[in-house]
A and B are shown apart, each in its own frame.
Chain A
Amino acid sequence: MAPLVRTSSTYFAVVGILGGVLLFANLAWIRQLDEGLAVTGLTDRISWGIYISGFIYFIGISYGGTMVSAILRLTKTEWRRPITRIAEASTAAALMVAVMMPIFDMGRPERVWSLILYGRIESPLVWDFIAIGTYLAGSLLFLYLALIPDFATMDRVLPRRVRVRRVAYRFLKMRWEGTPAQKRSLERALLAISIIIIPIAVSAHTVLSWMFGMTTRTGWHSSIFGPYFVGAALFSGIAIVVVAMAIFRRAHHLEDLITEDHFRKMANILLVFSLTYLYFTLNEYLTITFQPSTDEQILLQLLVEGPLAPYFWFSTLSLVLVTVLLALPRTRTIRWITVSALLLNVSLWVKRIVIVIPSMAVPLVPGDTVATYSPTWVEWAITAGSFASFCLIFAVFAKLFPMVSLWEIEEGEEAARLAAESPAGGPPARPAAPPAVGAKGGA
């Protein structure tokens, strides 16, 4: 609970830096609003660049919360309890940043409301809008639901001087007391959302992949795009949660709650997805290699030896490296797992570029040339700003609510204690109110 009332200088430093980056990004955004997208490196041939690949990336990492919180909840996996809050927060933060990215990419951002008024349901982009909008609503609802008991705790426990937040907590806790009736309601709601958020998440990213898959371009028009994107998303989502786990563990001194075991279990999940993703990647590129068609050969040549080759090789090789790191026992320590996760995230961000841009570089008309693209400082600045805002949202969250789900941990401890005390399975004692937060976890 301490971080909620006390702010360390490290925090200010970090927020300061992130704020600085964000400010710079805003300047770049203002410049782009002023002069139009001409300040980017985009051309008529390669008309989607790192804004769109960044968009895909952020939608991808939003899967972390879904995966850890919803799927692990449904499978009644106990070790998820300390990390669900971080996971749900990462999903919400990722989606909030993700919806901004297309707005940076639009030629007329002031007309974004047209999507609602004049939306054409036949367009994959509108499907995407609906799917991601639903996903954002669902994930915020999910985050909120899981926060209700903790809001109640904070309302009770926090010192009086945090007035503004107390007002919020007072209202948001929805008069939570932990009564069985309330618990039942909460569980039902959580169950419903946990169940529904999984297909929502899968469809959101699949629909995003269809934006590319439904065109006729070489490299995009591939039936594996749906599973490909979902696989990459699960992958990168877990990786981001791992990174966030490592950061908050250190920052909030959660070493006892978030243990090495957690990291190793997450590493296992990552390994499984990594192998799956390698499998998909192999499928995708091997089938391209085997095609005699000119377009596919041009694409392949672009990837392997063209100007985008560094991106391709980096993302592919780092993927292999990460798989190895995750598998070897020596590198399955917290530090190395975190490093792998971080590398993975960078790798997947680059991979999104490899997905979006080479297919646009392939010439479509006889006699046309291979196109090139080089992002400008505006694009890099706004991309950096997107990362900065993602981290900043986390930083703000850390001040708004605990980054571990207190009630879930207690719930787990309670169940474990009861199971130990009455192996015959007697009726569990009814707790009057959630016990005060003990020394354990002391955050």
Chain B
Amino acid sequence: MGRWRAGRAHAAVAVVLTAAFAFAVGVPIQGSDVGVLPAQGCTCHSDGPNFDVQIAVDGWPAIYTPDEAYPLIVHGEGPVTGAGGGFSVDVTKGSLSSTDPTVLASGNHATHTSGAKRSWPLLWIAPPEDSGNVRFTVFVNLVDGDGSDGPADLWSVLVLDAQEKAPEPPKPSSMVMAFAGPDEVAQAGHNFTVHATIANSTGAPIPNATVTFAAKLSWGVLPLGAGTTDPNGTARANWSVPAPGDFLVTAYYDGSSKNLSSNGSVQVTVYDPEGVWQDLYGGQEKGVWTWFDPVRVPLGLLVGGVWLTFFYATFHILRLRKAGAREADGPVDLIKLLFSRSGRGRR
């Protein structure tokens, strides 16, 4: 390598180059100088960067969208005779590729295969979300074509940054819940299914999202599990209850960076044609008192019969009274008897 030359302007470049070196990833070391990371530039050709060399990268976004593919063209111009040159690119994130046979690109690095031109197409695929800033460092070397790495070959370096595009605020999503059971009727004691379909703000279904289902009970919320939405944006859950009535099932979609959360509910009317509830809990009036009912009447008759005997006896008492001789024993006579002084009352 060339000698390290100190100097203020060169120092700045040196910093840049050092930084570039620091960011370099896995550069293949090959027999030829092609593809060698020019840690200090393409110093095999000339000692330092020459600022007459203009490097441009067409298509480089200042703000990139994650996962998006950006076609780039790296080219260089300068006071070097001929049309040959080379380049070396390092990018901190994302991946590089190219269909051009003169470009060798993979991963974070791209370079030329032959030195016959001064512009090279690249495809950069932006990294995924949350990757942050990306630095694109490109060295372009212009050669005069004389076959030697002489000082007439000039090179320069360009560093470009790109920021990740600020995520769009998530847009509202919507959820629609529906009940769909076997034959559209929910029965006590049998499973029934509820659906929840979520769509984004444009109305397109949201697939592969997690929707949590729950049943709203009188005192709490019973978790019914979670489901993943299918390509139509629909998730399903099962529930069964032992009683007829109206039951409320709710669902909740937590949202994502793109979609706000949404929820929904559906009231399911459960019927009980088989009498499942009655079998389970319907015996609220069971026990001995169910057979007591028919016994009431005979029992009443029995007790009534007993009292009839008393009336029979009373009847006989009255009869014997009637059969007796008339006596002064009416109320008036009795009272007179009560107050008679010497007891000489009428007999």
Contacts and interface: CB of A to CB of B under 8 A. Distances in A.
Direct touch of chains A and B (CB < 8 A) = yes
A272 to B, nearest CB: 28
Given A170-B329, A170-B337, A177-B325, A160 B342 contact: yes
A321 interface: no
Interface stretch (B32-40, B70-78, B302-310): B302-310
A130 interface: yes
A145 B317 contact: yes
Most B-side CB within 10 Å, residue of A121, A144, A189: A189
A193 B324 CA distance: 22
Contact of B313 (A167, A189, A200): A189
A430 interface: no
B316 A185 contact: yes
Interface in B285-321: 289, 292, 296, 299, 303, 306-307, 309-310, 312-314, 316-321
A170 B320 contact: no
A176 B329 CA distance: 12
B306 A175 contact: no
A323 to B, nearest CB: 35
Given A134-B303, A138-B310, A167-B337, A189 B317 contact: yes
B112 to A, nearest CB: 88
A429 interface: no
B1 interface: no
Given A193-B309, A196-B306, A182 B292 contact: no
Contacts of B303: 130, 134
A16 to B, nearest CB: 28
Interface of A: 121-122, 130, 134, 137-138, 141, 144-145, 148, 159-161, 163-164, 166-167, 170-171, 174-177, 179, 181-182, 185-186, 188-190, 192-193, 195-196, 199-200
B313 A145 contact: yes
Given A137-B310, A193-B313, A182 B323 contact: yes
A179 B344 CA distance: 27
The 7 tightest CB contacts between A and B, nearest first, are: A160-B343, A175-B324, A189-B316, A185-B320, A189-B313, A174-B321, A182-B320
14 contacts: A134-B307, A159-B343, A167-B335, A175-B320, A175-B321, A176-B324, A177-B324, A182-B324, A189-B316, A192-B316, A193-B310, A195-B309, A196-B306, A199-B306
Given A137-B310, A188-B316, A181 B323 contact: yes
Contacts of A188: 316
Contacts of B326: 175
B312 to A, nearest CB: 5
A161 B321 contact: no
B316 A121 contact: no
Nearest to A162: B343
B280 interface: no
A163 B320 contact: no
Interface string B110-137: 0000000000000000000000000000
Contacts of A192: 309, 312-313, 316
A331 B325 CA distance: 52
Contacts of A130: 303
A185 B310 CA distance: 14
B321 A141 contact: no
B183 interface: no
A175 B337 contact: no
B232 interface: no
Nearest to A145: B313
Contact of A148 (B299, B309, B317, B323): B317
A30 B204 CA distance: 85
A349 B323 CA distance: 46
A27 B79 CA distance: 133
B340 interface: yes
A186 B310 contact: no
A183 to B, nearest CB: 8
A166 B299 CA distance: 42
Given A137-B307, A174-B318, 19 more contacts: A121-B299, A122-B289, A134-B303, A148-B320, A160-B344, A160-B345, A163-B340, A163-B343, A174-B321, A175-B321, A175-B327, A175-B329, A176-B324, A177-B325, A179-B323, A182-B320, A188-B316, A190-B313, A200-B306
B338 interface: yes
A164 B338 CA distance: 6
A348 to B, nearest CB: 27
A167 B324 contact: no
A134 B342 CA distance: 42
A176 B344 contact: no
Contacts of B299: 121
A193 B309 CA distance: 7
Nearest to B300: A121
A122 B292 contact: yes
A186 B344 contact: no
Output the residue of A130, A144, A167, A192 with the most chain B CB within 10 A: A167
Contacts of A134: 303, 306-307
A163 B324 contact: no
Contacts of A161: 343
Residue of B320, B322, B327 most packed against chain A (CB within 10 A): B320
Nearest to A130: B303
A166 to B, nearest CB: 7
A138 B289 CA distance: 30
B21 to A, nearest CB: 79
B340 A174 contact: no
A321 to B, nearest CB: 39
A176 B318 CA distance: 11
Nearest to A182: B320
A137 B324 CA distance: 25
A182 B325 CA distance: 11
